[in-house]
């Protein structure tokens, strides 16, 4: 098993169960000193894609869900995230949890930061954070982020 940190729309426990059915949730935590942002607007999706980057502000943080990923599910997630195509890269990060710090794998966009997500995508991300138990102020900050309407 490999520990994986999910953010964005992958925070939704039901979505993660569909993508990684043999990989139980292990709780939640915070990626401290990082911030949620968007990039890859030019890749053909409806707006920019979620990613995380190290922040200039040490108080910045990103809420994550933690999963013990089986080998088979890890291969499926790598494919889903496009890591075999160079879309996302898997890196190791330190996650703060109530039980102490853990090290987990996390997918980051392999592209330039910039662009706005679609309103639909941002709504999915906020709903996923809420379903994962993110604090209300974190969910509301997602709902209030700038976005583009596609259609």
The predicted-structure confidence for 59-82, as pLDDT tens digits, reads as follows: 999 999 999 999 999 998 888 888
Q: Whole-model pTM? A: 0.93
Residue 53 lies in a domain: yes
Residue 20 lies in a domain: yes
Residue 137 lies in a domain: yes
Q: Which pLDDT belongs to residue 46?
A: 81
Helix (H) or strand (E) holding 15: helix 13-19
Residue 150 lies in a domain: no
CATH code, domain with 65: 3.10.490.10
**Helices vs strands, H then E, count in the chain:** 4, 7
For residue 123, the SS3 value is helix
Residue 54 lies in a domain: yes
Provide the domain limits for residue 78. 2-141
Residue 73 lies in a domain: yes
User: 52 or 79: whose pLDDT is higher?
Assistant: 52
Residue ranges of alpha helices (H) inside the chain are 13-19, 71-80, 119-131, 136-143
What number of other Cβ atoms are within 10 A of residue 145's Cβ? 15
Q: Which pLDDT belongs to residue 149?
A: 78
The proportion of the chain whose per-residue pLDDT surpasses 90, expressed as a percent, equals: 75
CA distance 30 to 76: 24
Mean pLDDT of the region 99-113: 93
Q: Which pLDDT belongs to residue 81?
A: 86
CA distance 34 to 73: 26
Residue 8 lies in a domain: yes
Residue 149 lies in a domain: no
How many domains in the chain? 1
For residue 90, the SS3 value is strand
């Amino acid at each position: 098993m490999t520990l994986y940190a999910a953010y964005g729309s992958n925070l939704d426990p039901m979505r993660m169960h569909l993508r990684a059915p043999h990989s139980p949730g292990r709780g939640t935590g915070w990626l401290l000193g990082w911030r949620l942002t968007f990039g890859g607007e030019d890749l053909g999706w409806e707006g920019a894609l979620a990613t995380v980057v190290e922040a200039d502000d040490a108080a910045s943080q990103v809420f994550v869900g933690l999963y013990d990923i089986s080998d088979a599910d890890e291969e499926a997630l790598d494919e889903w995230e496009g890591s075999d195509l160079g879309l996302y890269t898997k890196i190791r990060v330190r996650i703060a949890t109530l039980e102490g710090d853990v090290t987990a794998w996390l997918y980051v966009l392999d592209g330039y930061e910039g662009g706005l997500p679609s309103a639909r995508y941002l709504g999915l991300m906020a709903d996923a954070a809420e379903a994962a138990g993110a604090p209300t102020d974190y969910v509301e900050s997602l709902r209030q982020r700038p976005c583009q309407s596609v259609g």
